[in-house]
Amino acid sequence: MNTDNWLEDTRSSYDTVAFSYADQMREALGEYPYLRAALSLFAELVRTGGGGLVADVGCGPGHVTAHLQELGLDAFGIDLSPVMIDVARRDHPHLRFEVGSMTDLDLPDASVAALIAFWSLIHVPDDAVPTAFGHFKRVLRPGGTLLLGFHVGDESRLKTRGYGGHPMKVHVNRRQPTQVAGWLGDAGFTVEAQMLLNLDESAPEAVLFARVQAKT
C-alpha cells in the first residue's frame, strides 16, 4: 500500500467532495443516538474537569463542532481541507475553524482541555498515527480528555469515489480497539472506556475515551 502522498491525497479528495459531504452530514447525528450519548458524556467530562477549549480535529464541515457548542463546550474545528473549512465557516459563522493537520498541530502546548477526532484518523496510515497521538498529548493539558471514533476491522481499502459520486483517493483504515489503545498508551494516554457500535453490520465502529496520564 503506497501512502507516501496520503496528506496531499486526503486534502485534495475532501476539497473535491466538501459540499456534497456537508449536505450528507448536516443532520447525520440525529440518526445516531449512541454517538450523541458519547458526545454528551464527553461534554460532561470536560465540564467536570473545569472546562476550557475543545479541539475538534478533522472537523470536516463542522457539524460535530457545532453540536459540541450546543452542549455547552467552547469548541473549535481544525481540518486538513481548506474547502471543508470554508464550508464549516459558511454553515457555522459563529464558530472558529482553521486549516491544519493532526500530524503537525499548530497549537500551543497544554492549550486545550479536551480533543475529539471523530472518524478523522481513518485516513492516517499506521506509521503516522503515533505522530498524531503525540501532538494530541502535547496540546492537551494534564488530565485532558480525548475522544476517538473510528471503523473497526483489520484491513485497509482504497476509496476512489465518494460523496456525491466525486472522485477520491484515500485509504480507509479499519483498526481494532486494542491496537488503537496500545498506540494511545505509548503516547501517554490512559484509555478509560470504549463503546462498540453496529456490531452486526459490515462496518462496526468504536468510540474510545482516554485521558492524558497525570505526571507523578
The proportion of the chain whose per-residue pLDDT surpasses 70, expressed as a percent, equals 97
DSSP letters, 94-151, are: TS-EEE--TTS--S-TT-EEEEEEES-GGGS-GGGHHHHHHHHHHHEEEEEEEEEEEE
Q: Is the pLDDT of residue 15 over 70?
A: yes
Q: Is the pLDDT of residue 188 over 80?
A: yes
Segments making up each domain of the chain, as ranges: 6-212
Average per-residue pLDDT for the chain: 94
Q: How confident is the model at residue 4 (pLDDT cuts 50, 70, 90)?
A: low
Residue tagged 449536505 (cell numbers)? 23
Cα angle 117, 207, 160 (rounded to 5 degrees) comes to: 60
* CATH homologous superfamily, domain 6-212: Vaccinia Virus protein VP39 (3.40.50.150)
* pLDDT per residue as tens digits for the range 124-133: 999 999 999 9
pLDDT at 27: 85
Q: Is the pLDDT of residue 2 over 60?
A: no
CA–CA separation, 86 vs 142, rounded Å? 32
CA–CA separation, 119 vs 82, rounded Å? 18
The proportion of the chain whose per-residue pLDDT surpasses 90, expressed as a percent, equals 85
Please indicate whether residue 73 or residue 1 has the higher confidence score (pLDDT).
Answer: 73
pLDDT at 151: 95
Cell numbers given for 197: 457500535
Q: How confident is the model at residue 66 (pLDDT cuts 50, 70, 90)?
A: very high
Cell numbers given for 8: 496531499
33-48 and 63-70 helices, crossing angle to 10°? 60
**Letter string b/e over residues 113-146, b meaning 16 or more CB atoms within 10 A of that residue's CB:** bbbbbbbbbbbbeeebbebbbbbbbbbbbeebbb
pLDDT at 162: 80
pLDDT at 1: 43
Q: What is the DSSP letter of 204?
A: -
Flag the least confident range among 5-14, 72-81, 172-181, 199-208: 199-208
pLDDT at 194: 96
* pLDDT per residue as tens digits for the range 45-56: 999 999 999 999
The mean pLDDT value for 147-156 works out to 95
CB 58 within 8 A of CB 121: yes
Side-chain-side CA neighbours of residue 203 (13 Å): 10
